[in-house]
Structure 1
Amino acid sequence: MGSIIDQRNLDYDRLAERGGERPPRESAGRAASVAGPESGSEAGNVRENVNRFTGHRSELRADRVPGFDGGEERSESEFIAKAKSYAVSVADAVGFEAGVAPEFEADPTVTTTSEGMRVVSLQQMSNGIEVWSMAPKVWLHSDGAVDRLVGDTVSVPPDLPAKPVVAAEAALLAAVREAAKARTVRSNFGDDELPQLEISEGDFTRLSFQSLPARPMTFSRGAFAEDIPARLVYLDMGGSFRLTWFFTLSREDLIVQYKAFVEADEQTRDPEAPEILYFYDSASHAVGGRVITRNPGQTDFRDVPFPLPVSEYPVEPPVGFPAFGSWTDPVNGKLATVGNNVRALNGTTRKPFEITASPSGGVFAANADSPEQFVTNIFFFCNYMHDFFLMLGFNEESGNFQAINPGGVGRGADPVDALAHPGRVVGTANMSTRADGVAGLMNMGLVTSTGRHTANDSDVVFHEYVHGVSNRLVGGMLDAEGLNEDQSVAMGEGWSDFFALTINNFPGTLERVVTGSWVTARESGIRQRPYDSRYPGTFGDIGKGAGEVGGAGNADLSYQEVHDVGEIWCAALMQVTREVGAALGSKERGYRVTWQAVVDGLKLTPKNPSFLTARDAVLRAFKSMKGTGRLADGEYTGVRGAVWEAFAKFGMGFDASCPNATFSGCRGGTALPPEGVED
C-alpha cells in the first residue's frame, strides 16, 4: 500500500489548538474510566490515550456498566443496540463537544473471540454520510456488560454540507485519469512497470444509484478490472472537513486497488475539474496433491490427502469442532483445483488444474515447476491457511473466505481466487481483500532474478493470505478497510510475517527467523535483519532514517517505510511467542496460546490502530484466557508478565506513547505496568 496524493495535514494537533485540554475523565451519569498509552505526561496508574489529530480518546474503559437482565441468550441485535447506546452515552468523556450528538451505524455481524467477548464494530456518521476512518469497536462480555470502547472518533461541525456541488461524473473523471497513469510497482522481488491505460470520458456510464444521503452508485469499468463504486464520504483534513466523492479503482488482476477521495463541496474551485484530496493504493505487495509443504529448500514433494487430517495442523481444534468439508469434489468425472475455500487457477488461461476422478479419488500430480504444479501448490497452501485460521476462530461469523457458509452466517460467495501466473506478474505477489461476500484475489508469479516461483514458497503465500485475515478481522466484514494509516499498514506486514514464520517453526527444533530466503536465493531473505531476540529496531525508532537508529552496526537500518516498520511488530510478536512458551514451560503451548491471543486481538482491534492499540488488544485477549481451560490463574500471571517484557523489549512498554497511528511522534518506552494496573 502506498500514498500517492495526500493533502491532509497529518501534523495537525487538535489538543494544541485548544490549549492542551483533554476530554473530561468523568461525566455526570456516565461511568467510565480512562486507559491506554499515555500522551504528554509522566506515566502513572492511569494513562490517557488521546489521538492528538482528532482530540478524542482512543480508548475508554467502562466502569459499573451493567449487562442484560436475566441469564438468557441474547441476539446480535441486542448486543448492537447496547454498544450503540453506550457509545452515545459516553460521548463527552470520549471527547465529543458539548451539544454534539454523535451518530453511529453498526456492522450487523457481531464478532466473538475464543473466550466469548462480543465485539461490535461501529462507523461514525454525520448527516447519514460516513466520516472516513472513524470506526470504533465496543467490547462486551457475554452477559452484555460493556468492557470498553476502542478506536477513533472525531467531533464534526453540525453544519457540514451534505449536498455535493461536484457531479459524481466530474469527480470520477479526475480519479480515473490519476488511476490510469503509468507507475512503478515496487517490491523486494524487483520493480515492475504498470502501463498507462487509455481512457475516454465516454467509457464510464452510471449503472446503479441509491437515493440515500451518501448517494451510493456504480459506474461501468471502462478500461479498469471491475465496475467502479462511488459514494460520498467526509474526510478529516486536519482541523477541517471536506465532503468528497470516494471511488475504488482496480487495475488488472487487482495488482493495484486505488482509493480516491475527490473534493465535492462548495470549497471546490472548479466543479468541472475538481481536485483529488487523497489517493492511495490499498493492495498489499509482498516484500515479503503432490505438493511442497514449505518450499523446495526445506521440503521435497510429497503426496498428501486433500483435505489434510486435523493431526497435520499445529493448532488444537476446539472441542466438538466439525470435520472440514472437502477441498474439492468430483464434477462430471473430474476433480479440479476449485472448492469451497479456494479457486486456484492458471493466471494466464484462468483455468484450474483438472484430473480424472477415480472411485478412490485422485491425485493432483504434475511435473515440478509446471503451470499445473504451481496451481496445485497455491491451492494446497490457501486451503491449509483457511483450515488453520478456522480453528483459531476466523470463521463464517468473522468473515472468512468461503463460497458457501454451511452455518448460515456471513455472506459466503467469497473464496480466495488464487492465480498462479506461469511467468512474471506485476508486483510478483499480492493479495486484495474485499468485503465479506466478495472474493479475495491472490496473485503469485515468478521471481525472474532467481527463476523461482512464489506459489512454491509458503513464506510468500502464507504472508499474503494473512493480509486477508487481518484486513477482515480489523476492518470488519462490511468493507475490510481497517488498515489505512501508516502504523496500521505496517502491522499488516508484521502480522503476515509472524504467521508465515511461526506456522512453519512449530514442528521443528530450529527457529527460522528469516523470511523469503528461498524464493529470493538470499540468505538474508527480504527483511533488514533476522527476527531473532536481538532484532535491533524498537517502537521509538519509527520514523527514523538510515544513520538515525541507535546502536553499533545499525547505521543501515531505516524505519520510514511500512514494510520496514512492520518488522518491529513481527519481531515483538515473535518475542511474545518465545516468552510465553518459556513461562508455560512448553514451546507448543506457547505457540498455540499466542496464536489464539493474536487472532482474538485482531477481532478486538479497531480500525486504523497504532502499535500500542494493537498491543493492548493482544494483552486483553490473554487476560480473557485467565481461569479458563486455556490458562489457569497462576499461569496467567506468568504469561502476562512475559508478554509485557516482550513488548517492552521492543519499545512498547507501559510508558511508550504516540499521538496517532502515523509515523510521527512515536516515543519508545521500556517500563512495565505499575502494580494494580489492569490490561
Structure 2
Amino acid sequence: MTTLIDKRDMTYDRFVEVAGADHFLDDTERVADEVNHTLIAERGKVNRFTGHLGELRADGAPAFEGPPSPAPLPNGFYITHAKEYVDSVAEAIGFAANEPAEFEADPSVTATSEGMRVVSLQQMLNGIEVWGMAPKVWMLEDGTVDRVVGDTVSVSPDLPVTPSVSAETALRVAAAKAAEPLTLRGPFGTDELPALDISRGFERLSAQPENNQPLTFTKGAFEEAIPARLVYLYMGGDARLAWFFTFSREHLLVQYHAFVEADGRAADANAPEILYFYDATSHAIAGTVFRHNPNEGALTEVTFPPPTTDYPTLVPDGLPPGFPEAWTKATDGTVATEGNNVIAFGGDSRPFEVPVGQGGDGVFNPLVNSPEQLVTNIFYFCNYMHDFFMMLGFTEEFGNFQMVNVTGRGKGADPVHAFAHPRPVPGTANMATRADGLAAEMNMGLVSDSNRHTANDADVVYHEFCHGVSNRLVGGLADANGLREQQSQSMGEGWGDFFALSIINFSRAEERTVLGNWVVDDPRGIRQRPYDSLYPGTFAHIGKRRGQVPGPGNSGLDYREVHNVGEIWCATLMELVRKTTRALDSKERGYRVTWQAVVDGLKLTPRNPSFLTARDAILRALKAMEGRALTSAEYTAVRTGAWEAFARFGMGFDAFSANASFDGCQGGMAMPPPGSQD
C-alpha cells in the first residue's frame, strides 16, 4: 500500500491530553465492580492516537445462561452478547459516561481451530461508520468473554450528519487525483501508468435514500463502477464527515481509497480537501508445473488437485466431504484452468483449455515458458494455497475464495481471477482483495531485468495469495480493508513472506531464508537481509532511516517503508517456527502448530493492528491449544519459545507502541514475569 495524502495527525497524543493513565485505571476498577468480574487494563495497551484502550481483558465474565448446548449456537447469540458486553464496559475502554458507544456487528462470527468465537464490530455514530474503529470481541464457546481488542474513539455526538459537499463535487476532486499518472516502484523495477481522461464525468447508478446509505457512480475512465459512502474520519483530536470512494485502475493494479471532506470546512465549496488518499492494492515485493520454481525442481506432472499427502498441513474434521474439491470441471469435451476456487487467464485471453480423453481425464502439458504453461502454473499455485489455508481454517464461512460455497455459508461468487500476463505489466505482481462475495484479482508478469516470470515462482504467488487471506481474516468480510495503518500494512507483507518460505521449508532439509532469488536471478533475493536468526532489524528500528540501525554492516538498512518493516515481522515468525519446533522436538508439529496459531491469530486480530496487537493474538491462539493440540507441558515450552522469539526481535513484554504508525515504537527484550497471562 502507498499513501499519497494523509492529513491525519498520527503523532497526536489524545491519551495524555484528554484522559490520563490514573483516570483510565480508576474507570476500569469502577466498571469492574459494576459488571461484577475482573477487568484488566494496562497503560501499554492504550492507543495514544485515539486515547482509548486497545485491549481490555476480562476474568470471570459470565457465560450464556442455561445448560451447555450440544449443537453450535447461532451467530446471533454471540453477536448480541458481544454488543451488550461492550456497552457494559464502554467506560473502561475510554468512552465517557453517557457518551454514545454505538456498534454494528459483522453477521459472520469467526471461530478459531480451538473453538474460540470472534465477533467483529464496527463503531458507528448517527448510523454512519466511524472509519477504522472496529474492535473484536473474543469469546469462549460458552459465551464467556475473554477480551475486547481493537480501536475505538470518542467523537462528538454533534458531528454533522448531512453533507455540505455533494457526492458529485467530492467525486470530481478525488477522481482527478486518482486519474493522475503514476509511477509504480518495487523490487522488480519501475512501471509508469498514464493519466486517465475523466472529462466525460460520472453519473449516479443508485439513489441515496438516507445519508448513511451507500451509492454508486458509473466507472467513467476507471475499471469498475465507483462506490461511495459517508464516513466519519478521525483526524487526531477531532473527526470529520467525509465522502469515501474507491477507484480501480486497469486490472486492479491500483485501487485508490479516497476520503474527501463532506462537512464544508474548505474555503472553496467547489474544491473540497482530500483528507486521506492511498493505494489499497497489495503489490509484490512486488498439469505439468514447477512445484515451486525452476531452481527447486524440474517441470513435474501432478494431479489437480494433488493428494492430501502433498500438503504440509493435515486435513481437519469438519471440512466438506471429498475435500480437496476438484479444481476443474469438464465441459463439452474440454477442461480448462477454470474451477470453483480459481480462474486463471493468459493476460486478456480466456482460460487455457485442453481436450478430455475417453477416461474423463485431461492433461495440461504445455511447452515451458509458453503462455499456457504460465497460466497452468499460476492456476496450480493459487489452488494449492486455497486448499492449504482451508485446512488451517480459512473456510467458506470465514471468507475464502470460491464461486460456490457448498456448505451454504459465506457469500461465494468470489474465486481468485489469476492473470499470467505473457509480458511485463505495471506492478509486475499484485493481489487486489475485496469484500466476501466479490472476486479477488491477482496479476503476475514478466520481470524485465531477469526475463523470468512471477507466475513460475511460488515465492511471489504465495506471498500475494496471503494478502487475500490476511486482508479478509483481519479486515473482516465486509470490506477486507483492515490492514491500512503503517504497521498493519507491513505485517501484511511479513505474513506473505513467512508463508511463502515456511511452506517450502517444511519439506526441505536445509532451511531457505532468501525470498524471490530465482525470479530476479539474484542469490540475495528481494529483501534487505536473509530471514535467519541473525536478521538485524527489530521492533525498535521501525521508523529508522539508513545509517540509524546499529551494528557492523547495517548502515544500509532502512525501516521507513512497509516492505522493509514487514521483514521484521517475517523474521519474527520464522524464529517462532524454529522455537516451536525445538520445544516440541518435531519439525512437523512445530510448523503445523505455528501455522495454526498464526491463522487463528489472524482471526483474533482487530483492524489496523500494531505488531504488539498481532503478537498478543498469536499468544492467545497458542493458549487456546493447551489441553487440545498441546499438552500443558508442551504449551508451557511453546509459550516460552514464542516469547523468546518475540523478545529477540524487540517485541518483548516491555515493548510499547503508541498506535499502529511507525512513530514511537519502543523495543523491549523482557520475558513476561512469572504468573502473567497472555
TM-score tier (shorter): over 0.9
Q: Which residue does the alignment assign to 2:51? A: 55
Flag the 1:33–1:213 CA change in 2: closer, same or farther, 3 A. farther
**Alpha-carbon deviation of 1:353?**
0.3
- Once residues 284 and 512 of structure 2 are traced to their aligned partners in structure 1, the CA distance between those partners, rounded to angstroms, is 19
Q: Which amino acid aligns with 1:150?
A: V
**Alpha-carbon deviation of 1:266?**
3.3
Secondary structure of 2:612's aligned partner: helix
**Alpha-carbon deviation of 1:308?**
1.0
Secondary structure of 2:639's aligned partner: helix
- Once residues 274 and 187 of structure 1 are traced to their aligned partners in structure 2, the CA distance between those partners, rounded to angstroms, is 32
Q: Which residue does the alignment assign to 2:9? A: 9
- Once residues 196 and 228 of structure 1 are traced to their aligned partners in structure 2, the CA distance between those partners, rounded to angstroms, is 18
C-alpha contact (below 8 Å) 2:264/2:272 kept by paired residues:
no
Q: Which residue does the alignment assign to 1:289? A: 287
**Alpha-carbon deviation of 1:99?**
1.5
Secondary structure of 2:245's aligned partner: strand
**Per-residue deviation, residues 552-604 of structure 1 (Å, max 9, x unmatched):** 21111111100000000000000000000000001111000000000000000
Matched, 1:593 2:589: no
Secondary structure of 2:295's aligned partner: coil
**Alpha-carbon deviation of 1:185?**
0.6
- Once residues 110 and 218 of structure 2 are traced to their aligned partners in structure 1, the CA distance between those partners, rounded to angstroms, is 34
Secondary structure of 1:436's aligned partner: coil
Secondary structure of 2:673's aligned partner: coil
Matched, 1:237 2:242: no
Output the TM-score relative to the length of structure 2.
0.97
Matched, 1:648 2:647: yes
Q: Which residue does the alignment assign to 1:152? A: 151
C-alpha contact (below 8 Å) 2:313/2:592 kept by paired residues:
yes
- Once residues 421 and 607 of structure 1 are traced to their aligned partners in structure 2, the CA distance between those partners, rounded to angstroms, is 33
Pick from 236, 248, 251 the counterpart of residue 249 of structure 2.
Answer: 251
C-alpha contact (below 8 Å) 1:416/1:441 kept by paired residues:
yes
C-alpha contact (below 8 Å) 2:202/2:219 kept by paired residues:
yes
Q: Which amino acid aligns with 1:250?
A: S
**Alpha-carbon deviation of 1:269?**
2.3
User: Which shifted more, 470-479 or 94-103?
Assistant: 94-103
C-alpha contact (below 8 Å) 1:232/1:246 kept by paired residues:
yes
- Once residues 266 and 107 of structure 2 are traced to their aligned partners in structure 1, the CA distance between those partners, rounded to angstroms, is 35
Matched, 1:135 2:134: yes
Secondary structure of 1:208's aligned partner: coil
Q: Which residue does the alignment assign to 1:487? A: 487
- Once residues 339 and 20 of structure 1 are traced to their aligned partners in structure 2, the CA distance between those partners, rounded to angstroms, is 56
Pick from 16, 29, 51 the counterpart of residue 34 of structure 2.
Answer: 29
- For these two proteins, the number of residue pairs brought into alignment is 667
**Alpha-carbon deviation of 1:389?**
0.3
Q: Which amino acid aligns with 1:676?
A: G
User: Which shifted more, 61-70 or 11-20?
Assistant: 11-20
- Once residues 432 and 312 of structure 1 are traced to their aligned partners in structure 2, the CA distance between those partners, rounded to angstroms, is 28
C-alpha contact (below 8 Å) 1:288/1:463 kept by paired residues:
no
- Once residues 466 and 75 of structure 1 are traced to their aligned partners in structure 2, the CA distance between those partners, rounded to angstroms, is 29
In the alignment, structure 1 segments of 5+ residues that lack a partner are 40-47
In the alignment, structure 2 segments of 5+ residues that lack a partner are none
**Per-residue deviation, residues 21-48 of structure 1 (Å, max 9, x unmatched):** 4522221413565657x65xxxxxxxx4
Q: Which residue does the alignment assign to 1:661? A: 660
**Per-residue deviation, residues 298-346 of structure 1 (Å, max 9, x unmatched):** 1100100011111110001113643222100101111000000000001
**Alpha-carbon deviation of 1:64?**
2.0
Secondary structure of 2:216's aligned partner: strand
Q: Which amino acid aligns with 1:264?
A: A
- Once residues 659 and 471 of structure 2 are traced to their aligned partners in structure 1, the CA distance between those partners, rounded to angstroms, is 19
- Once residues 190 and 165 of structure 1 are traced to their aligned partners in structure 2, the CA distance between those partners, rounded to angstroms, is 43
Secondary structure of 2:8's aligned partner: coil
Secondary structure of 1:368's aligned partner: coil
- Once residues 106 and 32 of structure 1 are traced to their aligned partners in structure 2, the CA distance between those partners, rounded to angstroms, is 24
Secondary structure of 1:207's aligned partner: coil
Q: Which residue does the alignment assign to 1:308? A: 306
**Per-residue deviation, residues 67-89 of structure 1 (Å, max 9, x unmatched):** 11221242101100000111111
Matched, 1:469 2:462: no
**Alpha-carbon deviation of 1:447?**
0.1
C-alpha contact (below 8 Å) 1:127/1:213 kept by paired residues:
no
- Once residues 647 and 340 of structure 2 are traced to their aligned partners in structure 1, the CA distance between those partners, rounded to angstroms, is 42
Flag the 1:213–1:514 CA change in 2: closer, same or farther, 3 A. same
- Once residues 640 and 15 of structure 1 are traced to their aligned partners in structure 2, the CA distance between those partners, rounded to angstroms, is 32
Identity percentage over the alignment?
60
Flag the 1:19–1:324 CA change in 2: closer, same or farther, 3 A. closer
Q: Which residue does the alignment assign to 1:212? A: 210
Secondary structure of 2:28's aligned partner: coil
**Per-residue deviation, residues 646-679 of structure 1 (Å, max 9, x unmatched):** 1000000000001000000000001000111111
User: Which shifted more, 547-556 or 459-468?
Assistant: 547-556
Q: Which residue does the alignment assign to 1:66? A: 62
After TM superposition, list the pairs within 5 Å mapping 1:156-195 onto structure 2: 156-195=155-194
- Once residues 245 and 529 of structure 1 are traced to their aligned partners in structure 2, the CA distance between those partners, rounded to angstroms, is 41
C-alpha contact (below 8 Å) 2:212/2:230 kept by paired residues:
yes
Q: Which amino acid aligns with 1:211?
A: P
- Once residues 569 and 547 of structure 2 are traced to their aligned partners in structure 1, the CA distance between those partners, rounded to angstroms, is 21
Secondary structure of 2:20's aligned partner: coil
Secondary structure of 1:300's aligned partner: coil
Q: Which residue does the alignment assign to 1:88? A: 87
C-alpha contact (below 8 Å) 1:32/1:60 kept by paired residues:
no
**Alpha-carbon deviation of 1:291?**
0.4
**Per-residue deviation, residues 137-177 of structure 1 (Å, max 9, x unmatched):** 00110001111100000001110100001010000000110
Q: Which amino acid aligns with 1:326?
A: A
**Per-residue deviation, residues 252-287 of structure 1 (Å, max 9, x unmatched):** 000000000000003232222211111000001111
Secondary structure of 2:473's aligned partner: helix
**Per-residue deviation, residues 608-651 of structure 1 (Å, max 9, x unmatched):** 000000000000000000001x1011110100000000100000
Q: Which residue does the alignment assign to 1:455? A: 455
**Per-residue deviation, residues 472-502 of structure 1 (Å, max 9, x unmatched):** 0000111101100000000000000000000
Q: Which amino acid aligns with 1:456?
A: N
Secondary structure of 1:229's aligned partner: strand
- Once residues 19 and 625 of structure 1 are traced to their aligned partners in structure 2, the CA distance between those partners, rounded to angstroms, is 37
**Per-residue deviation, residues 169-205 of structure 1 (Å, max 9, x unmatched):** 00000011000000101110001001100111x4310
Q: Which residue does the alignment assign to 1:327? A: 327
Matched, 1:574 2:571: no
Secondary structure of 2:483's aligned partner: coil
Output the TM-score relative to the length of structure 1.
0.97
C-alpha contact (below 8 Å) 1:288/1:515 kept by paired residues:
no
- Once residues 258 and 290 of structure 1 are traced to their aligned partners in structure 2, the CA distance between those partners, rounded to angstroms, is 37
After TM superposition, list the pairs within 5 Å mapping 1:406-421 onto structure 2: 406-421=406-421
C-alpha contact (below 8 Å) 2:38/2:60 kept by paired residues:
no
C-alpha contact (below 8 Å) 1:543/1:559 kept by paired residues:
yes
Q: Which amino acid aligns with 2:269?
A: P
- Once residues 159 and 454 of structure 2 are traced to their aligned partners in structure 1, the CA distance between those partners, rounded to angstroms, is 48
Q: Which amino acid aligns with 1:262?
A: V
Q: Which amino acid aligns with 1:63?
A: D
C-alpha contact (below 8 Å) 1:288/1:526 kept by paired residues:
no
Q: Which amino acid aligns with 1:287?
A: I
Q: Which amino acid aligns with 1:433?
A: T
- Once residues 583 and 364 of structure 2 are traced to their aligned partners in structure 1, the CA distance between those partners, rounded to angstroms, is 43
Flag the 1:277–1:285 CA change in 2: closer, same or farther, 3 A. same
